[in-house]
Structure 1
Amino acid sequence: MENFLAAFIFFFAVIDPIGTVPVFIAVTRSFEESIKRKIALKATLFSAIILLFFVVAGEFILTAIGISLSAFQIAGGIVLFLFALTMIFGESKPEEECAMVETSSTDTAIFPLAIPSIASPGAMLAAVLLTENSKYNFLEQSITVAAMLSVLVVVLVFLFAGSAIHRLIGDSGASLISRVMGLILASIAVSSVLEGVKTYFAL
């Protein structure tokens, strides 16, 4: 249960379901309510496929091109930290991604909703790092995948209730929450770098 909760919090921070709501509202404002629900479902499904691909094949691809997981963990931590800084100091997630609007409902579901809003670079990195074969057994990996999919279910629920949530928290509330998530993510990123350095020099 403790491992599930830790993985859930990690993925909740990197995916940022609440920060995705204003993005969803902005890019679907010209669609009917039934189409909006289909877009939400497609975006969540595409995100799940992308992240599951990184869970299954991410480590194999790294091994095939000769990159150690400790090096990837350090690089991933740095990328996560830079990503977190943009959430804290730069434009918040809704402000940055609402400008990316596509006209097709399927295109909208893929970009900018599935990528980079839901299946963000941070989420892809987390999918690889939290399912490392040499560090986690099958049960632990399954728990991580379950936590990741649970966060995606939360995303879907939030998108279905997007209009009501946006009225409740407003743009300012979404921006504030995105920055808090950025601070949490920065802490996680530093831990990832330190763990990667420790693992690298222990080899």
Structure 2
Amino acid sequence: MIDYAVVFITFFAVIDPIGTVPVFIAVTDRYEAKVKRKIALIAALASAGILLFFVMVGELILDALSIPLPAFQISGGIVLFLFALNMIFGDSKPEQEIKLVPSDHRETAIFPLAVPSIASPGAMLAAVLLTKNEVFTIFEQLQTAAVMLAVLLIAYLLMLLAGWINRIIGSGGASVISRVMGLILSSVATTNILQGLTEYFSLT
């Protein structure tokens, strides 16, 4: 049985549904409400497909490249930590990703909304690390995937409610929440690094 709270917090931090709201508002500003809903759905489905791909075959790719899981866990933890530091000290998520807006609404749904806003590099790494075959059973991996999809559903619902949410918290509120989640994510990343080092030295 997985720790639902840990898995949920990890995915919530790396997917950052709240931080996606200002991005969604900015990149869909010129579209009518019907198109905005379509963009939100496409972005959510594309993100789910990408992250499920990493859940199913991410570890197989590592095995094919002869990369040991402890090494990937350590490097993944470092990348997650840098990602968390960027969330805390760098430009806020909306400010980074609003600069990358394409013209077509389908392209907008995929980039920058699905990637890198929702299915972020940190989310891809977390999907692999939290579904390791040597650590988690198939049932536990399915549980993790379900929690991940639940976070994506939250992101989708928040995009649908983006206009109302923006009036309540504003872009400043979203930035504050994103930085708090970055702090939590940095702790998760440090744990991954320490666990990877422990596993690596236990194998040598």
TM class by smaller structure = over 0.9
1:103-136 C-alpha deviation (Å, 9 max, x unpaired)? 1011000000000000000000000000000000
1:122-137 mapped onto 2 (5 Å cutoff): 122-137=122-137
1:40-189 mapped onto 2 (5 Å cutoff): 40-189=40-189
Q: Return structure 1 stretches of 4+ with deviation > 6 angstroms.
A: none
Which segments of 5 or more consecutive residues in structure 2 lack a partner in the other structure? none
Task: Look up the equivalent residue of 1:5 and give its one-letter code.
Answer: A
> % of aligned pairs identical?
61
Q: CA deviation at 1:2?
A: 6.2
Q: Which residue does the alignment assign to 1:32?
A: 32
Q: Is the 8 A contact 2:2 2:143 kept in 1?
A: no
User: In the comparison of the two structures, how many residue pairs are matched?
Assistant: 203
| TM-score between both structures, scaled by the size of structure 2 | 0.98
Partners in 2 of 1:192 and 1:77 — Cα distance?
Answer: 5
Q: Is the 8 A contact 2:2 2:140 kept in 1?
A: no
Residue 37 of structure 1 aligns to a residue in which SS?
Answer: helix
Task: Look up the equivalent residue of 2:178 and give its one-letter code.
Answer: S
Partners in 1 of 2:158 and 2:137 — Cα distance?
Answer: 32
| TM-score between both structures, scaled by the size of structure 1 | 0.98
Q: Is the 8 A contact 2:78 2:189 kept in 1?
A: yes
Task: Look up the equivalent residue of 2:61 and give its one-letter code.
Answer: I
Q: Is the 8 A contact 1:80 1:186 kept in 2?
A: yes
Q: Is the 8 A contact 1:55 1:127 kept in 2?
A: yes
Q: CA deviation at 1:4?
A: 2.1
1:151-175 C-alpha deviation (Å, 9 max, x unpaired)? 0000010000001001100011011
Q: CA deviation at 1:96?
A: 1.0
Partners in 2 of 1:99 and 1:184 — Cα distance?
Answer: 26
Task: Look up the equivalent residue of 1:169 and give its one-letter code.
Answer: I
Task: Look up the equivalent residue of 1:76 and give its one-letter code.
Answer: G
Q: CA deviation at 1:41?
A: 0.2
Partners in 2 of 1:179 and 1:105 — Cα distance?
Answer: 29
Partners in 2 of 1:110 and 1:101 — Cα distance?
Answer: 10
Task: Look up the equivalent residue of 1:55 and give its one-letter code.
Answer: V
Partners in 2 of 1:10 and 1:87 — Cα distance?
Answer: 14
